[in-house]
Amino acid sequence: MRCAVIVFPGSNCDSDLYKAVNAFEGVDAEYVWYTTENLDAFDLILLPGGFAYGDYLRAGALAARTPVLKALIRAAERGVRVIGICNGFQVLTECGLLPGALQRNSGLHFICDTPLIEVVQDQSSFTSRYQQGELIRLPIAHGEGNYICDELTLRHLQAENRIVFSYASGSNPNGSVDNIAGILNSKGNVLGMMPHPERAMADWMGSSDGRRLFESALNLFPETADAA
């Protein structure tokens, strides 16, 4: 399986994401520069965290208007799986692949923490190796992670089971509506999330709970995943 790790000027989590997925047997990850206009060769596309273009105008706004995003939108429309993490989530909302927006944290401070995250649903392509209602630990590091949307959009997300991760009761760090930490598009092949699963791949990192997200997205069987 070939995975593209998209790199923008200002990305700083691309190497973490590259190493996380490339560690799995049978996975070939490669960095893809933002000027790329074709992503047809890839089975999974990853948008890393960081500060693309220094977050000028709005977080993710300039990155969403690069050539590679046009190719990514075409790939997503074909059904290719896409994961946007932190700044990548912001880019996905800015380009219209995901609804809503990410704004400044409610406390107006940058937050670096490892909150409890609830797995809201385990039937998606990205959560099949979790259990619904399971509490996991994933790091966060953001200043603009406060997810907002209008009431109608929120009702659609809830009714269509498109909220996949939420901050556990009492642990919402940024003020996100309905404690939302990660959502899907209507087709279920695009995931945006603020927590960093690539920083939770082994016990020595403080948590290994992020591994199963990539195992799910990569369609790895347990024996293959355990070999990574």
Identify the pLDDT of residue 56: 81
Is 198 part of the annotated catalytic residue set? Answer: yes
How far apart (Å, rounded) are the C-alpha atoms in residues 191 and 204?
A: 26
Query: Is the Cα dihedral 128, 134, 140, 142 positive or negative?
Result: positive
How far apart (Å, rounded) are the C-alpha atoms in residues 7 and 23?
A: 19
Helical ranges in the chain per DSSP H: 14-22, 67-78, 87-94, 151-159, 211-217, 222-226
How far apart (Å, rounded) are the C-alpha atoms in residues 174 and 176?
A: 6
The domains found in the chain, sorted by start residue, are 2-226 (3.40.50.880)
Is 149 part of the annotated catalytic residue set? Answer: no
Exactly one of 94, 144, 198, 215 is catalytic; which is it? 198
How far apart (Å, rounded) are the C-alpha atoms in residues 164 and 192?
A: 9
What is the pairing mode between strands 146-148 and 2-7?
unpaired
Residue-by-residue pLDDT tens, the chain, 228 positions: 999 999 999 999 999 999 999 999 999 999 999 999 999 999 999 999 999 888 888 888 999 999 999 999 999 999 999 999 999 999 999 999 999 999 999 989 999 999 999 999 999 999 999 999 999 999 999 999 999 999 999 999 999 999 999 999 888 999 999 999 999 999 999 999 999 999 999 999 999 999 999 999 998 644 444 444
Identify the pLDDT of residue 219: 86
How far apart (Å, rounded) are the C-alpha atoms in residues 65 and 88?
A: 13
Taking residue 65's Cβ as centre, other Cβ atoms within 10 Å add up to: 14
Identify the pLDDT of residue 224: 45
Identify the pLDDT of residue 149: 98
Is 118 part of the annotated catalytic residue set? Answer: no
What is the pairing mode between strands 190-193 and 180-184?
antiparallel
Instruction: Look at the pTM and tell me if it is higher than 0.85.
Output: yes
Exactly one of 3, 118, 196, 215 is catalytic; which is it? 196
Exactly one of 13, 86, 95, 149 is catalytic; which is it? 86
Which tokens is 54 given? 């220094």
Identify the pLDDT of residue 55: 83
Phi, psi of 88 (to 5 degrees): -65, -35
Residue with tokens 């409610």: 106
